[in-house]
Amino acid sequence: MIKVKKRKILLLPGDGIGPEVIAEVKKIINWFNDKKSLDFEIDQELVGGCSYDKHGTPITDEVFYKALESEVIMLGAVGGPTWDNLEFSKKPERALLKLRKELKLFANLRPAICFKQLVDASTLKPEVVSGLDIMIVRELTGGIYFGEPRGIKPIENGERKGINTHTYTTSEITRVARIAFDLARKRSNKVTSCEKSNVMEAGQLWKEEVQELHEKEYKDVELSHMLADNCAMQLLRNPKQFDVIVTDNLFGDMLSDQASMLTGSLGLLPSASLGAKNKDGEMRAMYEPIHGSAPDIAGKGIANPIACILSFAMALRYSLDLDKEADILEKAVQDVLNDGLRTKDIMSEGMKETSTSAMGDAIISKLQ
Ligand code: NAD
Which tens digits make up the pLDDT trace of 150-189?
999 999 999 999 999 999 999 999 999 999 999 999 899 9
CA angle at 144 for the pair 198 and 185, rounded to the nearest 5° = 70
Told to judge if 196 belongs to the known catalytic residues of this protein, a careful annotator would answer yes
The answer to whether position 251 is within a domain reads yes
Instruction: Indicate the top mutation candidate among 12, 86, 291 to test ligand 1's pocket, ranked by most ligand atoms within 8 A of CB.
Output: 291
For residue 308, the ligand 1 atom closest to its alpha carbon is 18
Q: Are residues 151 and 243 in the same domain?
A: yes
Q: Are residues 289 and 164 in the same domain?
A: no
What tens digit of pLDDT does each residue of 237-288 get?
999 999 999 999 999 989 988 888 888 778 898 999 999 777 777 789 999 9
Q: How far is the CA of 265 from the centre of ligand 1 (A)?
A: 12
Q: Are residues 129 and 22 in the same domain?
A: no
CB atoms within 10 A of CB 2: 4
Mean pLDDT, residues 304-309 taken together: 97
What tens digit of pLDDT does each residue of 348-367 get?
889 999 999 999 999 999 99
- Residue nearest atom 20 of ligand 1, based on CA coordinates: 303
Told to judge if 327 belongs to the known catalytic residues of this protein, a careful annotator would answer no
The answer to whether position 269 is within a domain reads no
Kind of pairing between the strands at 107-113 and 133-139? antiparallel
Told to judge if 168 belongs to the known catalytic residues of this protein, a careful annotator would answer no
Q: Are residues 219 and 304 in the same domain?
A: no
Last residue of a domain, which of 203, 231, 259?
259
For residue 76, the ligand 1 atom closest to its alpha carbon is 40
Distance of alpha carbon 62 from alpha carbon 51, whole angstroms: 12
Ligand 1 pocket, Cβ-based, cut-off 6 angstroms: 17, 77-80, 93, 96, 266-267, 288, 291-297, 303-304, 307, 345
Q: What is the 3-state secondary structure (H, E, C) of the chain?
A: CCCCCCEEEEEEEECCCHHHHHHHHHHHHHHHHHHHCCCEEEEECCCCHHHHHHHCCCCCHHHHHHHHHCCEEEEEECCCHHHCCCCHHHCCHHHHHHHHHHCCCCEEEEEEECCHHHHHHCCCCHHHHCCCEEEEEEECCCHHHCCCCCEEEECCCCCEEEECCCCCCHHHHHHHHHHHHHHHHHCCCEEEEEECCCCCHHHHHHHHHHHHHHHHHCCCCEEEEEEHHHHHHHHHHCHHHCCEEEECHHHHHHHHHHHHHCCCCHHHCEEEEEEEECCCCCEEEEEEECCCCCCCCCCCCCCCCHHHHHHHHHHHHHCCCCHHHHHHHHHHHHHHHHCCEECHHHCCCCCEECCHHHHHHHHHHHHC
For residue 14, the ligand 1 atom closest to its alpha carbon is 40
Mean pLDDT, residues 65-90 taken together: 93
Per-residue pLDDT, 260 = 82
The pTM of this model reads 0.89
The answer to whether position 265 is within a domain reads no
Task: State which residues form the domain around 12.
Answer: 1-106+275-368
- Residue nearest atom 6 of ligand 1, based on CA coordinates: 294
Q: Are residues 199 and 323 in the same domain?
A: no
- Residue nearest atom 16 of ligand 1, based on CA coordinates: 267
Last residue of a domain, which of 259, 291, 312?
259
Q: Are residues 313 and 245 in the same domain?
A: no
Count of domains observed in the chain: 2
What tens digit of pLDDT does each residue of 115-157 get?
888 888 788 899 999 989 999 999 999 999 889 999 999 999 9
Q: Of 26, 196, 207, 366, which one is the catalytic site residue? A: 196
Told to judge if 218 belongs to the known catalytic residues of this protein, a careful annotator would answer no
Told to judge if 186 belongs to the known catalytic residues of this protein, a careful annotator would answer no
Q: Are residues 115 and 252 in the same domain?
A: yes
Last residue of a domain, which of 225, 259, 293?
259
